[in-house]
Structure 1
Amino acid sequence: MSLEQKIMGDMKAAMLAKDEKALRALRAIKAGIINAKTAEGAGGVISEEEEQKLLLKLVKQRRDSLEIFTQQNRPELAQKEQEEIEVIEKFLPKQLDPEELKAALRAIIEQTGAKSPADMGKVMGMATKQLAGKADGKAISATVKELLAG
């Protein structure tokens, strides 16, 4: 079952349950899928990898907004963003916890032979490919800096 089919099924369930929170997030995902499918060169089809990237992008947008709304003391808007993040994350693979992320990054650092923070680019290139969908880019970057600095 494709992501789009899962979203459509969940949208129907959310409509019947009158779950506005879920419906808002599901509509955003559906809009993102439609935009990706109709983008130039997409040919009306998106791969599973592209679906994961789309979901990660949607979560990142909402986290950025959540941060801004929290800084501006807008709890009602921050709450909406948090609710949407929770719904969207249900469609992503399980995220690595900090210890699993460190272990995976240590292995990548060993593979690349990185020794200092100057080698961060090599590590990040490989890490973002291998850990796509499993960890946030900011978390990967911060952990790589920490491991290479130590």
Structure 2
Amino acid sequence: MSLELTISEAIKTAMKDKDKVALDSLRAVKSQIMLLKTEAKGAEVSPEQEIAILQRMIKQRKDSYEQFTAQNRTDLAEVEEAQMKVIEKFLPKQLSAEELEREMKKIIAETGAQSAKDLGKVMGVASKALTGKSDGKSISEMAKKLLS
């Protein structure tokens, strides 16, 4: 089942449950998918593109959450956090720090990277291999840690 269909079913469930936060979050996701389909002129949206949409939306909410927290706006921060949790349910299982480190060590060995100069090479492979399993910031930090 595509993400779009899954989201549509979840929207129906949120409507029945009168879950406003979930409904708002899911409608935003569906809107982004529809926008991508429109831009692609009717072409199918790949699972990688769907995951990228979800990751981008989570990142936006995380940034907003941090800003609202810094400004002591807990009411708005709580909404952002709740929306993040709803959207995260549709991402593949995220890697733990230990799993990410293990995967990154494999990628570094495969690419033959020796130092921080090879960071770009490692990031290119890691970004594709770990799409949806970890966010770019975590991948980058782990790569820098392991290559230094």
TM-score range, shorter chain: over 0.9
- AA aligned to 1:18 is K
CA distance in structure 2 between the aligned counterparts of 1:114 and 1:3, rounded to whole angstroms: 36
User: Corresponding residue for 1:124?
Assistant: 123
Report the counterpart of residue 2 of structure 1 in structure 2: 2
Question: Which residues of 2 match residues 1-150 of structure 1 at below 5 A?
Answer: 1-39=1-39, 41-149=40-148
Please report the RMSD computed on the Cα atoms of aligned residues, expressed in angstroms. Answer: 1.1
Q: CA deviation at 1:44?
A: 4.6
Distance 1:42 1:54, change over 3 A: farther
Q: Which runs of 4+ in 1 moved over 3 A?
A: none
Tell me the secondary structure at the aligned position of residue 104 of structure 1.
helix
- Paired residue type of 1:62: R
Q: What letter corresponds to residue 123 of structure 2 in structure 1? A: M
Alpha-carbon offset, residue 108 of structure 1: 0.6
Deviations 1:63-90 (A, max 9, x none): 1111111112111111111101111111
Q: Secondary structure at the match of 1:141?
A: helix
- Look up the SS of the partner of 1:96 in the other structure: coil
Structure 1 residue 42, shift from structure 2 partner: 3.8
Letter in 1 for 2:37: K
Q: CA deviation at 1:113?
A: 1.2
TM-score, structure 2 length as denominator?
0.95
Cα offset, 1:12, TM superposition: 1.1
Letter in 2 for 1:15: M
Q: Measure the CA separation in 2 of the matches of 1:44 and 1:33.
A: 12
Cα separation, 1, equivalents of 2:47 and 2:116: 33
**Aligned-pair identity (%):** 51
Q: Number of paired residues?
A: 148
SS class of match (1:111): helix
Structure 1 unaligned blocks of 5 or more: none
